[in-house]
Amino acid sequence: MPVLFAAFFQKNFSISYRFHIGDINFHHRGGKKMSVLKRAFLYITRKKAKSLIMFFILFGIATSMIAGFAIQSATKETRKTINSAIGASFEIGVNLQNNFGIGDRGLGNVPGSIVDKVKSIEGITSNDLRTLSEVDLMGLKKVPLKTEHFSYSPNQEAILKTMGDLQGNENTELDNKFVAGSLKLTSGRHIKKDDVNKVLVHEEFAALNNLQIGSKFKVKASPYRSVNKDKVLNDEIELEVVGLFTGSNQDRATHEIELIENILMSDITTATQISGSSRETLPYQDAKFYVSDASKMPEILEKVKKLDIDWSKYTVTTSNKNFKTLTTSLDAMDRLIKQLIVGSIIISSIILSLVLAFWINGRIHETGVLLSLGISKSNIVLQYIAELLMIAVFSFGASIGSGMLIAQKLGDSLVKQANDAGRLALGNTLGGMNLGADAESSLIAKTLDSIHVTIGANEFMWVWIMGIGIIILSVGISSMNIIKLKPKEILSKMS
């Protein structure tokens, strides 16, 4: 670049007279003024120390901004992915204030009749039904808690040792635990609506019991179940493993029966066989419904509320409320990023303005000479801007590498702060009550796992847009004294 500037300079300018400002010699051909860009180039190439200092100042400004914009883009992409996974949906469950559920454990009792009524509403495209049954594991080992847990009486512990939860789903892919990422399918496939006697098991449970895809094992209704205790249910049901998943709630569970690692995720038909019910009489833990158009959600919910259902016993919850802590974490993340970006812009403008004000006041002699040659104040200010933009080409470019080094670490730190804010909001909502430790309760406390930060053309473009704005603003502020002075006053200061 210096060679190109020099060649252009030699081609267009011959020495008519010479003047110098400090250690900078300007060659000027009579009648023709030197351009802003040429004066700016001569200044930054001769004043190497000042140019180097300004390079690092602009480099720091650009690094902070590009990191902020990259984290902002990553958060938007994460929110988009989560919203896409959650989908436009709502869920009908029991109102625990007026409807504790069935049995000692308060299992769900959403009847199939409610499901049929809701499914008939136009705009609802699909649904997932979920039920919970208690099974005798028939010798299968359970994944133990990694820490000390709450202990029941010896008799109760003996009962719980053989008992496990079997969750029946129409489609496990739509189950909130998979949607939120609490569980991840690692091999095999999900449970589908028409499946019979198929099951998903946790990888640790599978390893403990020598199970793999295609393995079969038997279970039966637990004699200590809390539902249909009077029925004789001794039939053994053989289940085939069609998928393995990962996920854990070891940090929250107080007993092995609450561990996600020990839950069996099966189909609705298996659940009816275990409970001795039929699809018509089987009570569901909850029912999840998807709508075709998210914008029509309020209209559809209004129709749902008008159905002949005793709403004092049931609740309707939209998908975003099911993951309240997660959405709160994302909202907190947005606020933190905005504070980071706005703070960077304000602090950068202040620092740059102060440095430039000091330097521009030291260039009063140069300003006076340029004014004596008939160069306007606005033209001189444009030279200052051009000088910074030339340096910015290199400092902004170098900020891509430094931004990549700090953006991910800074993003991880902001995720932690956002999650802390989400947990605090959840605690305030619960009003001092403890959240359950089971797999479903863990969903409510689900926070943001991580964000993947990358720097692309869009982030670099915004650095240039904001960087140019900061440069123009800072030069304008720091040049106010020069602009306000009259040419005679500037020339008098030269002496």
Distance linking the first and last C-alpha atoms of the chain = 37
Count Cβ atoms within 10 A of the Cβ of residue 318 and give its class: 0-12 exposed, 13-18 middle, 19 or more buried: middle
Binned at pLDDT 50, 70 and 90, residue 304 comes out as very high
Parallel, antiparallel, or unpaired: how do β-strands 89-94 and 198-202 relate? Answer: unpaired
Residues in the chain: 495
pLDDT at 239: 96
Binned at pLDDT 50, 70 and 90, residue 104 comes out as low
For the cut 50, the answer to whether the pLDDT of residue 199 exceeds it is yes
Please state the pTM of the whole predicted model. Answer: 0.66
Average pLDDT over residues 58-66: 93
For the cut 90, the answer to whether the pLDDT of residue 181 exceeds it is no
Q: How many other CB atoms are there within 10 angstroms of residue 213's CB atom? A: 14
Parallel, antiparallel, or unpaired: how do β-strands 163-169 and 264-267 relate? Answer: parallel
pLDDT at 1: 39
- Tell me the pLDDT tens digit for each residue of 368-412: 778 777 888 888 889 999 999 999 999 999 999 898 888 888 888
Binned at pLDDT 50, 70 and 90, residue 19 comes out as very low
Whether residue 490 contacts residue 482, with contact meaning beta carbons closer than 8 Å, is answered with yes
Whether residue 471 contacts residue 352, with contact meaning beta carbons closer than 8 Å, is answered with yes
Compute φ and ψ for 313, nearest 5 degrees.
-100, -10
* All structural domains of the chain with their residue ranges: 2-80+328-494, 100-311
Range of weakest confidence among 343-357, 378-392, 478-492? 478-492
SS (H, E, C) the chain: CHHHHHHHHHHHCCCCEEEEECCEEEEECCCCCCCHHHHHHHHHHHCHHHHHHHHHHHHHHHHHHHHHHHHHHHHHHHHHHHHHHHCCEEEEEECCCCCCCECCCCECCECHHHHHHHHCCCCEEEEEEEEEEEEECCCCCCCCCCCCCCCCCHHHHHHHHHEEEEEEECCHHHCHHHHCCCCEEEEECCCCCCCCCEEEEEHHHHHHCCCCCCCEEEEEECCCCCCCCCCCCCCCEEEEEEEEEECCCCCCCCCHHHCHHHCEEEEHHHHHHHHCCCCCCCCECEEEEEECCHHHHHHHHHHHHCCCCCCCCEEEEEHHHHCHHHHHHHHHHHHHHHHHHHHHHHHHHHHHHHHHHHHHHCCHHHHHHHHHCCCCHHHHHHHHHHHHHHHHHHHHHHHHHHHHHHHHHHHHHHHHHHHHHHHHHHHHHHCCCCCCCCHHHHHHCCCCCCCCCCCCHHHHHHHHHHHHHHHHHHHHHHCHHHHHCCHHHHHHHHC
For the cut 60, the answer to whether the pLDDT of residue 27 exceeds it is no
Range of weakest confidence among 24-38, 238-252, 381-395, 445-459? 24-38
* CA 1 to chain CA mean position, Å: 42
Range of weakest confidence among 2-16, 39-53, 302-316, 458-472? 2-16
